[in-house]
Amino acid sequence: MRLLVGAVAVGLLLALLVYNLGQELTLYTDFRTAAAHPGQTYHIVAEWIDREKSAYDPAEDAFWFWAQDSTGWVARVRYPDPKPINFESAQKIVLIGQYRDSVFYAEKILMKCPSKYKEEQVSAER
């Protein structure tokens, strides 16, 4: 009886682990692929463009901007928070979210500050 209970418990834990991993795994792709599969979460490496058309909307507590992926596809992006710190200095950004209704809804934005890595590169060359 104990063996059966233990086997069921291990089976449930493995099923839960596989389910959670499936929820966390997202694919790196471009805006075109994300637009073809609305509602699925993707990582998209992009650049911030049309800076003058970017705006924070306090009524919805959202930052709206335009981004271009590596294939040249341009998309409007909605981020549900104010503009991140160091956003202007980031050469590339990684947008994590879903494409719906002609807009990419970014849940997270990941950035690298280029000055940090340039300084490390200079000290490594010495």
The pTM assigned to this predicted structure is 0.71
Domains in the chain, CATH or no CATH each = 26-113 (2.40.50.140)
The model's pLDDT over 98-123, given as tens digits with 9 standing for 90+, comes to 999 999 999 999 987 665 555 554 44
**Tokens standing for 103?**
């807009």
Q: Is 86 left (phi over 0), alpha (psi -120 to 50) or beta?
A: left
The neighbouring-strand residues paired with 95 are 44, 109
Distance CA 42, CA 103 (A): 13
pLDDT at 74 > cutoff 50: yes
